Structure 1
Amino acid sequence: MRKLVLYTLAAGVISAAFAPASALAQPAKPAAKPTATVANPAASAPLAALFNAYWEEQAKLFPLGATAQGDNRYNDQLPNDQTRAFRARLRAFYQQYQAQLRKTDRKTLSANDQVSYDIFDYEMQIRLDGLQLNSWMMPFAQFYSLPNSLVQLGAGTGAQPFKTVQDYDNWLARASQFPVWADSAISNFRRGLKAGVVLPKPLVLKMVPQLQAQVTEDATKSLFYGPINKLPASFSEADKTRLTAAYRQAILTQLAPAYQRLATFLQTDYLPQARTSAGIGAVPGGAEMYRYGVHQMTTTDRTPDAIYQTGLAEVKRIRSEMEAVKNQVGYQGDLAAFFTYLNSDPKFTPYKTPDDVLGAFRTIQARVTPNLPKLFGRAPKTPFEIRQTEAFRAATASAEYMRGAADGSRPGIFYVPILDATKFNTTSGMESLFLHEAIPGHHYQLSLQQENTSQPKFRRFASYSAFSEGWALYCESLGPELGLYADPYQKIGALGDDIHRAIRLVVDVGLHAKGMSREEAIKYMMDNEPISEQGATAEIERYMSWPGQALSYKTGALKLRELRARYEKQLGKKFDLRAFHDEILAGGSMPLAVLEKRLDAWAASVK
């Protein structure tokens, strides 16, 4: 349902982005006085040098991340992160930088440098902890996949630039390294089969067609041929001829065969031995993997059982609010019948074309825009665009945001999968979806973070799901303050989105730590929110593939709500909501404990 798109390459988590341009490049009306953290003149030079050295070295280790962030120095590289040697290199890398950091006396640092110290130390430790797990035996799944990400890059619509002859040659070099990666991934899948660390069958069934879609005997029909269809007119005829031949050869002799090998292996060798259980707790070391996933994705030390109980309480609370809206619109049946009505009445599916759906979202943007200065003193300069999800991945995609380039050369993109416009339901929470994925959710948070050049790069491009997704879910609650949810059916959609995240706390822990089956999880979701069986199945299978990630949304949003209530009470008339929001966004994404400490200091300074 909601997704901030992240490409994962080994231990490096990186955001992706796409192209064209559009609205909201202008800052909102400035606040009456500065409210956000600015560059600290007393910043530690040795610490800055350490952070800079780390950033330069990690860009070489994770060149896809560099590409996504507009650093084009390594656009020809695709390291094989599937090897034991690469994992050992990562371990030494993180240990080295953590040791160097801890030589610094934290007490001597400025307030902003102390925040940077805490984030960096947390980051090194969480990555080192992750390298101790056997998750490398499951190299990818249907929801996170280098093979899928590579298609987006190579199609010419992603972060990989195709403007110069060198750009085209860079992609050829990068693509030539994919077959080795694919063969190593197969080897790791085989290791997993021997160790019992395998993916669930339903996920493998989704992966095979994703891979087969890239297999072709006609290079011109491949998505990877896209850049050739858009060869710049400025290229010489000799370069056009050479590149056309080289791309055909790369598709037919490197890329298509590699995708075929992956698909054949998964279909023939892996699927028969894939597990029937849904949760990660069923594999050897699975309980430890889940504890790690919970900690990594929530950035807290909360136990799975405590999170499960929070989920049950939130589901109960939101159901009562849904009952109130049901009564408001005069529906006579129970909540389950009301859900069926919302999913089936033709008046809730008024659209005929994808452009109709995209136009409806643009209308929401137009309603939100005039109200933004009431809640924010700063707005991003990065352009913003609404776009339909590409057909090749729409069937398994969620609505999602892909961050733009820090220099504004690529906009942030709000992607909407529209398989059939005539079935796109207006009560699915269109207004809350826009607030979450687009403005002011992910677009404000990620763009302002990247644009803040006073921060070290590891903070400008950091992504902690509990912060990023927590912020986006918190933004959904701002609907009334931004001029939305006046229509009770949009309100029920927003409540549906809210309960969806509460349900995640129940089913994610249920699947991975309490023995809940895939079918039981799907039923629980359908019993408690207006969602189709197809939609619920896609969601549950997403949680099966990414243990713990679904916990981040509610965890982060509840923390932000808690902090807002705390400061409203503490500061009384001195509480400025715009200043509160600006302060949250000024520091960028960080672990929740670091955020709380930072905001407590801000509130004390206001008081």
Structure 2
Amino acid sequence: MTPIFKLCEDYVGKLAALDPIGAATGGVAGGFVPATDYSPDGHAARAELVRRTLAELAGLSATSDADRHAAAHLRERLEAEAAWHEHGEPLRMLRGQFGLVNLIRDSVDLLPRDDDQWHDVAARLHAVPVMLASWRASLDLGLARGLVAARRQALETAAQAERFAGVHDPLVASYGDGRLADELAAAAAAAHAAYAATARYLRADYAPRAAERDGVGAERYALAARRSLGADIDPAEAYAWGWAELDRIEAEMAGEIERIRPGASWQEVSALLDESHSVAGVDAYRGWLQEQHDRAIDELHGTHFDIAEPLRKVEVTIASGSTAGSPYYTSPTEDLARPGRTWWPLGGRERFAVWRELTTVFHEGVPGHHLQIGAVMAAGDTLSRFARTVRVSGHSEGWALYAERLADELGWFADPGTRLGMLAASALRAARVVIDIGVHLDLPLPDGSRWTFEKACEVLRERGHANSHRIHPEVVRYFGWPGQAISYKLGERAWMAARQAAGRHPDFDLKRWHTAAVALGPIGLDGLAGALERIN
């Protein structure tokens, strides 16, 4: 192992000790530790680890292409992380939907549950009140220093925490009446009480002192965009491109609507498809999702990709109690013992319009996140441990959107209804670009009006064609997580440009390019085009 690979290895191990929740969620192997310290001291310890690692990296020389790639990824990610700490962002780390409360809840559900592992489940449940209290200490310090999150995020997270009071009861019930039953029940009750206490704190103590404005401004947005993309962007260019891309997609949607029912409106066609292309009941929905995941793997393996045997299964998980509007993915563990999982919120639905969701199957599973992230986790020592476990949102989300386009090229949306669903999902991602940049930088809409929460919901509904159950949580997410929503479309743009450039080589072979592109591991968008062009 080279000194650079050894530094990457050491950093991942040390960070896992300081942030076991993040490590476990990201699939990092290691001994079980029940809690992450989210207090100011915990954040300071992680910031110091970043600074020490960057200083050590500066004294090392790369001896191979693998070394240079590992060093570049480590440096780029840690520099973005250092800037995040230096600006005090951990002290206002508060966002609805995909925030810390949801992470802590998921960290319980992700634990293995063999007979000898229920002790860990009980310990994690016991740790929930401790973790939430440490987080509140950081938020209190942020309030004292004038580093505050938006009031909307405080209230939305409070509502989420209230809904989580009781969320672990099905897990405890699944254990039965074994010898840990009483301990599990007591630990779950304590966790539920902590969710409720956090909701009260956010409503009564934090929200009255929080920022009224939702947007974060240019300086914080640039910091957030770099963290999500691994690149600096021209926000005005990206904003204009997002509107143009939305227009392009809507024109293509109009043609698809004509194929389904000439002269009909979007509303009429979507209502028709909701009736003809849907399943009823959670069990039928889960079964349909699993069947589509399995089919995609069967059809791609050996043809367009070589998928390692441990990755030829994606586990569908219904995200009970989740208020997130969007499905999401969690990776396998480093040892591949825990499978890759896709998580599907119900959104209060009992009937599921699968014509809209087939494209998301390919995004979250294969050839999307599971194929790319799973292949990286299975790469062994050809990639640094840091590259295997630390991703760049623009790289991975861009690949997942590219995967949806690839599915279209392969004819997997031959049914006009499912292709319309794919285009509607693409429109939603383009709407994310304009909402995210427009809100946080206070840029005008094309008609000169200004962004509000209601206007963002309108754009997502009318231009992004979002399902009704997704609109509110999606907009809450964009408002509370600046720079993340742009990673999908801007990442896709980078992947498509890289493939186009590589395709100009006379010996271009798509399967070979896919294999090599995935094998490179995560790359910031600043370096993506050059790295992908060189692989031919």
* Fold shared by both chains (TM-score > 0.5): yes
Question: What amino acid maps onto 1:95 in structure 2?
Answer: R
Q: In the alignment, does 2:282 pair up with 1:331?
A: no
Is the alpha carbon distance of 1:71 and 1:372 closer, same or farther for their aligned partners in structure 2, counting shifts above 3 Å? closer
In the TM superposition, what is the alpha-carbon distance from 1:584 to its structure 2 partner? 0.8
Q: Is the 8 A contact 1:342 1:530 kept in 2?
A: no
Q: Does the residue aligned with 1:584 lie in a helix, a strand or coil? A: helix
CA displacement 1:78-124 (0-9 Å, x = unmatched): 132221x3333223222221121111234xx2111111111111122
Q: Which moved more, 1:318-327 or 1:116-125?
A: 318-327
- Report the counterpart of residue 191 of structure 2 in structure 1: 255
Inter-CA distance 344–187: structure 2 relative to 1 (3 Å threshold): farther
Match of 1:267 in 2: 203
Offset at residue 577 of structure 1 (A): 0.1
2:436 maps to 1:436 = no
Give, in angstroms, the shift of residue 596 of structure 1: 2.7
User: Contact 1:162 / 1:227 at 8 angstroms: preserved in 2?
Assistant: no
Q: Is the 8 A contact 1:61 1:79 kept in 2?
A: yes
1:373 to 287, 291, 302: 302
- The answer (yes or no) to whether the contact 1:432–1:493 under 8 Å persists in 2 is yes
| Conserved 8 A contact 1:130-1:292 | yes
Does residue 181 of structure 2 align to residue 244 of structure 1?
yes
Unmatched segments (≥5 aa) in structure 1: 1-43, 217-221, 233-239, 282-286
Q: Deviations over 1:548-604 (max 9, x none)?
A: 0011111111111111111212x13x110001100110011121233333223223x
Aligned residue for 2:463?
A: 528
* Aligned twin of 2:275: 347
> For residue 35 of structure 1, what is the aligned residue in structure 2?
none
Rate the CA distance shift 1:596–1:289 in 2: closer, same or farther, 3 A: same
Q: Which residue pairs with 1:406 in the alignment?
A: 334
Q: What per-residue deviation string (whole Å, max 9, x for no partner) do you get for residues 477-511 of structure 1?
A: 01233331111111111111112111111110011
The question of whether the paired residues in 2 share the 8 Å contact of 1:98 and 1:121 is answered with yes
Aligned equivalent of 2:418, options 484, 487, 490 = 490
Q: What whole-Å deviation, never above 9, does each CA across 1:41-60 have from its counterpart, x for those lacking one?
A: xxx62223322222222221
TM-score w.r.t. length of structure 2: 0.90
1-structure distance, mates of 2:123, 2:350: 42
Q: Do the aligned residues in 1 keep the contact of 2:362 with 2:407 (CA within 8 Å)? A: yes
Q: 2:221 aligns with which of 290, 302, 312?
A: 290
After superposition, the Cα gap between the structure-2 partners of 1:81 and 1:301, relative to the gap in structure 1 and judged at 3 Å, is: same
Quote the offset at 1:265 in angstroms. Answer: 1.2
3-state SS of the aligned residue for 2:310? coil
Equivalent residues in 2 for 1:511-526, closer than 5 Å = 511-514=439-442, 516-526=451-461
Q: Secondary structure at the match of 2:316?
A: strand
- Residues 470, 552 of structure 1: 8 Å contact kept: yes
Instruction: State the shift of 1:438 in Å.
Output: 0.8
Contact 1:382 1:407 (8 Å CA) reproduced: no
* Native 8 Å contact 2:18 2:42 kept in 1: no
Separation (CA, whole Å) in 2 of partners of 1:474 and 1:55: 29
Of the three residues 91, 112, 131, the one matched with 1:181 is: 131
Q: CA deviation at 1:134?
A: 2.6
Larger Rg: 1
1:409 positional shift: 1.9
1:594 corresponds to: 527
Contact 1:64–1:78 (8 Å) recurs in 2: yes
2:61 to 75, 81, 105: 105
Contact (CA 8 Å) 2:21, 2:104: kept in 1 or not? no
Q: Deviations over 1:363-390 (max 9, x none)?
A: 5446533245332244452252352423
**In structure 2, do the counterparts of structure 1 residues 475 and 183 end up closer, same or farther at CA, with 3 Å as the change threshold?**
same
Q: Which amino acid in the other structure matches residue 184 of structure 2?
A: Y
Aligned residues of 2:57 and 2:71 also touching (Cα < 8 A): yes
Superposition map of 1:194-233 within 5 A:
194=144, 197-215=147-165, 223=168, 226-227=171-172, 229-230=174-175
Assess, with a 3 A threshold, how the Cα gap between structure 1 residues 176 and 399 changes in structure 2: closer, same or farther: closer
Matched, 1:446 2:379: no
Name the counterpart of 1:17.
none
**Match of residue 25 from structure 1:** none
Deviation, 1:460, is: 1.1
- The one of 73, 76, 89 equivalent to 1:135 is 89
Q: What is the deviation of 1:196?
A: 5.1
Q: What letter matches 1:51 in structure 2?
A: C
1:139-158 residue pairs with structure 2 within 5 A? 139-154=93-108, 157-158=109-110
The answer to whether the Cα contact below 8 Å between 2:35 and 2:128 also exists between their aligned partners in 1 is yes
Residue of structure 2 equivalent to 1:465: 393
Q: CA deviation digits over 1:142-166, x for unaligned, max 9? A: 2233333333333xx41x233354x
Deviation at 1:352, TM superposition (A): 2.0
The TM-score, its normalising length taken from structure 1, stands at 0.80
Matched-pair contact (CA < 8 Å) for 1:339–1:530: no
Contact 2:43–2:90 (CA<8 Å) still a contact in 1?
no
- Confirm or deny that 1:382 pairs with 2:315: no
Note closer, same or farther for the CA distance 1:329–1:147 as it changes in structure 2 (3 Å cut). closer
1:403 shift after superposition: 1.4
How far is the alpha carbon of 1:201 from its aligned partner?
A: 4.2
**Which residue is equivalent to 1:162?**
113
Question: What's the offset of the Cα at 1:138?
Answer: 2.5
Q: Distance in 1 between matches of 2:319 and 2:28?
A: 25
Q: SS state of the match for residue 424, structure 1?
A: strand
Unaligned runs of 5+ in 2: 444-450
Distance 1:56 1:137, change over 3 A: closer
Equivalent pair of 1:290/1:548 in contact (CA under 8 Å): yes
Distance change >3 Å, CA 563–CA 251, structure 1 → 2:
closer
Give the aligned partner of residue 24 of structure 1: none
Q: Larger RCO: Structure 1 or Structure 2 (Cα < 8 Å, ≥ 6 residues apart)? A: 1
Deviation by residue 1:195-221 (Cα, 9 ceiling, x = unmatched):
5544444433432233224446xxxxx
User: Given the superposition, is the C-alpha separation of residues 274 and 349 from structure 1 closer, same or farther in structure 2, using an over 3 Å criterion?
Assistant: farther
Match in the other structure for 1:582: 515
Which letter does structure 1 place at the counterpart of 2:521?
G
Q: Using the TM superposition, give the Cα deviation of residue 426 of structure 1 relative to its aligned residue in structure 2, in angstroms.
A: 3.5
1:72 Cα deviation after fit: 5.9
Following the alignment from structure 2 to structure 1, what is the Cα–Cα distance between the partners of residues 128 and 470? 32
Is contact 1:76-1:172 (8 Å) kept? no
Q: How far, CA to CA, are the matches of 2:145 and 2:56 in structure 1?
A: 36
In 1, Cα distance between the equivalents of 2:248 and 2:395? 23
Q: Which amino acid aligns with 1:255?
A: A
CA contact (8 A) 1:380 1:444 kept: no
Matches of 1:471 and 1:137, distance apart in 2: 32
**Conservation of the 8 A alpha-carbon contact between 1:294 and 1:304:** no
C-alpha contact 1:462 1:590 (8 A) present in aligned 2: no
SS state at 1:293 partner:
helix
Q: Partner of 2:448 in structure 1?
A: none
* CA distances 1:439-470 after superposition (whole Å, capped 9, x unpaired): 11011001110001022211111211011100
Q: Quick check: 2:457–2:472 contact (8 Å CA) kept in 1? A: yes
How far apart are residue 361 of structure 1 and its match?
Answer: 3.2
Offset of 1:192 from its aligned partner? 4.0
Offset at residue 436 of structure 1 (A)? 0.6
1:396 pairs with one of 313, 316, 324: 324
| Equivalent residue in structure 1 for 2:252, among 277, 296, 321 | 321
